[in-house]
Amino acid sequence: MPDQRFFHIPIALSLAQLAAKCEMDLANPADGDFIVDDLAPLDTASPTQLSFLDNRKYREQFINTKAGACIVHPDFKDIAPKGVKLLLSKSPYKSYALASSMINPDPKPDAAISSFARVHESATIGANTTIDDFVIISEGVEIGDNCWIAPYSFIGPGVKIGNNCRIMQHATITHSLIGDNVKIYAGARLGQEGFGFAIDRAGFVKVPQLGRVIIEGYSEIGANTTIDRGALGDTVIGMGTWLDNQIQIAHNVKIGKGCIMAAGVGISGSCELGDYVMLGGQVGVVGHLKIGTLAKVAAKSGVTRDIPAKEEWMGYPAMPMKQFLRHTAYLNRKTAKNKKEA
């Protein structure tokens, strides 16, 4: 059971309720009334708990589990231990995620504006929205319905935040337009000046950053991630894109929909990423490059040229994955040969 110092008591639900909402089918319709009161791993689950199997590596744990019910792919139906109720899913991990969200829903604070918050008289706050202690809401801000602005957050002048958004502790947002159903985690910084300057022999001359940050709906911005506003155009994060913690997105970057970036990624100015791009941890991308739709880049790669759509790249400098692996194999052979000859 989740530690109740940090999480609410799980909600007990029937298998029929879970199947209806989580893209699953009951292996035995007669099991629909069975109640589960929590989720747990296969090896520790009790007869009142729900577990799941998504990786063949844990096949033996599934065979020996004491769970009351289990989410599995239909291919594993025949090896289930006796007495375990089965929920069949073509995508067990996704179904588990949906079930977990039902059993352990995110907390919803009471809708109220704290007396310790500072809300400008011209700001517009939607229905059922919570403004916590020591939040600053500036002039002309618009915040939609069912939002939660957590303590010590700063929302700068003119910022617009859509419905059903969560802005967590110590986030700062300026020069930004944010869509519906967006979550911005603690310490994120959106809309600050981009790193733009001209150079001559006398030194640096700052270039005014006159654009905005656009965060489209259903996106997530991780803790301590920074997104600079554009110089003239906008910096855009597309619909349903999720950014992990401690990512830097520079000015004028355009990121498509459904992209995923792991922690530590750095995207230099004016890059364009297509839809459904995946970047591993600590990938760096040189400025003004294009990465095509459905491209993937492995962790710690340094991207120094455009990547076509649907290709997988890795290494520094990044290159097509097969080419990188051939280079690595060649170097390993040469190294082994040189050691023998030494």
Flag the least confident range among 36-45, 104-113, 154-163. 104-113
Q: In this structure, is residue 320 part of a structural domain? A: no
Q: In this structure, is residue 174 part of a structural domain? A: yes
Q: Is 251 a catalytic residue?
A: yes
> Are 159 and 177 spatial neighbours (Cβ–Cβ below 8 Å)?
yes
Flag the least confident range among 32-41, 104-113, 157-166, 228-237. 104-113
3-class state of residue 148 by DSSP: strand
Q: What's the domain range around 37?
A: 13-103
Q: How far apart are CA 101 and CA 121, in angstroms?
A: 37
Please give the pLDDT value at position 67. Answer: 98
**Does the pLDDT value for residue 285 go beyond 70?**
yes
Answer yes or no: do 98 and 122 share one domain: no
**Does the pLDDT value for residue 342 go beyond 70?**
no
pLDDT in tens, 163-175: 999 999 999 999 9
Query: CA end-to-end span of the chain, whole Å?
Result: 60
**Does the pLDDT value for residue 107 go beyond 90?**
no
Answer yes or no: do 75 and 169 share one domain: no
Answer yes or no: do 133 and 266 share one domain: yes
Given the DSSP bridges, would you call strands 35-36 and 38-39 parallel, antiparallel or unpaired?
unpaired
> Are 263 and 279 spatial neighbours (Cβ–Cβ below 8 Å)?
no
What average pLDDT does the structure give for the chain? Answer: 96
Regarding pTM above 0.85, the answer is yes
Domain boundary among the residues 103, 137, 160 is at: 103
Answer yes or no: do 283 and 185 share one domain: yes
Three-point CA angle 121, 123, 125, nearest 5°: 115
Q: How far apart are CA 222 and CA 260, in angstroms?
A: 11
Phi, psi of 221 (to 5 degrees): -120, 115
Please give the pLDDT value at position 33. Answer: 97
Q: Which residue has the tokens 């994955």?
A: 321
Q: How far apart are CA 138 and CA 61, in angstroms?
A: 54
Please give the pLDDT value at position 2. Answer: 79
Say how many domains are in the chain. Answer: 2
**Does the pLDDT value for residue 334 go beyond 90?**
no
Cis peptide before 317 (omega within 30 of 0): yes
Q: Which amino acid is at 309?
A: A
The CATH number for 37's domain is: 3.40.1390.10
Please give the pLDDT value at position 110. Answer: 87
Q: Count Cα atoms within 13 angstroms, Cβ side, for 244.
A: 13
Q: Which of 120, 251, 288, 327 is catalytic?
A: 251
User: Residues of the chain with pLDDT > 90: what percent?
Assistant: 91
